[in-house]
Amino acid sequence: MAERAHALSTVDGYSGYGAEQGEKKLRAAIAATYYADLGIDETDIFVSDGAKCDISRLQVLFGSKVKIAVQDPSYPAYVDSSVIMGQTDLYQQDVQKYGNIEYMRCSPENGFFPDLSKVPRTDIIFFCSPNNPTGAAASRDQLTQLVKFAKDNGSIIVYDSAYAMYISDDSPKSIFEIPGAKEVALETASFSKYAGFTGVRLGWTVVPKELLFSDGHPVAKDFNRIVCTSFNGASTISQAGGLGCLSPEGLKAMQDVVGFYKENTKIIVDTFESLGFNVYGAKNAPYVWVHFPDRNSWDVFAEILEKANVVTTPGSGFGPGGEGFVRVSAFGHRENIIEAARRLKQLYK
C-alpha cells in the first residue's frame, strides 16, 4: 500500500479513475483464492469499499417494491437499508419490528437456523453465516435447504460471508459450495475482519452470470449499472493492499490474525462459562453470544459498562430476537481481553 501511495506521486506510477468493478488482477486473485472450483469467474466479482456499502447498493438495485426477510437477530444494515429504501411499513413498538419485513427467528432452540416451513415467501433473503451477532455458522444441510427454499419461492439470497475465514469446522465458507446456489444467490464479503481493513475499506460482491430476474434479465447487468452510476471504484491504494493480502505471505498473516482473535474468543467463552452463563457462537466467529435470561439487554449492557468499564453490545440492537443477550467481541488486544475477563469475573462471581 505504501508503494502504491508513493507511486501516485510519480509520472509513471500515477493512475486516475480505475475500473468501477475493480482491478482485473485483484478480481482474478479473489476468484482464485476464495472460489476456486466453484465456477465463479473473475468477471462475476465486483470489488468495493466494503460489504456494508454493497448491501445498500444492492438495495438500490432491488428498489422500494420488494419485501425482504432477515435472520432475527442480524446485522442492522439489512433492516435499516430496507427502511431507507421505503420497502417497509411503520415501526411496531409493541413487537419491536418494522412492518413488511419477515423476521426469521434464530434462537438456541432452533440451533440458530430458521424454520423455513413457517417463513412466508419474500423477494429477498438476507442471510449472514457465520452470523453477526450470534456467531452461528449454517451447516451444508441447512444451506441446501435455504437454496431449495429460495428456488421454490423465486427469491434471491444475499449471502453475507464477512466472517467465513473464522469457520473451523466443515460448514461451507461460501454459498456457492451448495449445488444450484448460483441461480438464486449472490455473495458479499470483506477484508475488514480478515486483515483489519475496517478503515482501509475493501470488500467484494459476487454476482454469478446464472442469477437472473424472473424476466430472464441478468442481475449482474443491473448491478453493474448501479455500481458504475454510484461508485468510482475502490481506492487504488486499498486494492494494492488487497493484492498483498492474497499473496502467500498475506494469506498466512490473515490466518494468523484470525487465529489470534479466536484465542481471544476462547478466553471470553471460558470466562462466561466459569460464571455459569449459557454461551453461544465463538467456534466459527469472533463473537460470543451470552444469554442473560429474563434480563433486558440494555440493562445488562449498562451494568457491565458502569460496574466493570467493559463495552459489550446489547442484543436487542440486532432485532427483537436478541433480547436477553449481549454480544461480546473478541476484536481487541490480548491484555485488554484478559483484563475484561478479570473484571467480568469480579462482577458476576
Same domain, 227 and 270: no
* Domain housing 55: 2-245
Same domain, 226 and 295: no
Q: What is the pLDDT along the chain (349 residues), one digit of tens a residue?
A: 999 999 999 999 999 999 999 999 999 999 999 999 999 999 999 999 999 999 999 999 999 999 999 999 999 999 999 999 999 999 999 999 999 999 999 999 999 999 999 999 999 999 999 999 999 999 999 999 999 999 999 999 999 999 999 999 999 999 999 999 999 999 999 999 999 999 999 999 999 999 999 999 999 999 999 999 999 999 999 999 999 999 999 999 999 999 999 999 999 999 999 999 999 999 999 999 999 999 999 999 999 999 999 999 999 999 999 999 999 999 999 999 999 999 999 999 9
Same domain, 20 and 165: yes
Q: Whose grid coordinates read 429460495? A: 150
Residue range 115-164, pLDDT digits in tens: 999 999 999 999 999 999 999 999 999 999 999 999 999 999 999 999 99
Same domain, 187 and 167: yes
Find the CATH number of the domain harbouring 112.
3.40.640.10
Which of these three, 245, 271, 297, is where a domain ends? 245
How many distinct structural domains can be found in the chain?
2
d(C-alpha 91, C-alpha 265), whole Å: 35
Whole-number pLDDT of residue 103: 98
Whole-number pLDDT of residue 38: 98
Find the CATH number of the domain harbouring 324.
3.90.1150.10
Same domain, 222 and 342: no
Whole-number pLDDT of residue 232: 97
Same domain, 149 and 283: no
Residue range 33-47, pLDDT digits in tens: 999 999 999 999 999
Same domain, 177 and 289: no
Query: How many C-beta atoms surround the C-beta of residue 276 within 10 A?
Result: 7
What per-residue string of b and e applies to 221-230 under the rule 16 or more CB within 10 Å gives b?
eebbebbeee
Which of these three, 245, 276, 304, is where a domain ends? 245
Which of these three, 225, 245, 265, is where a domain ends? 245
Same domain, 58 and 155: yes
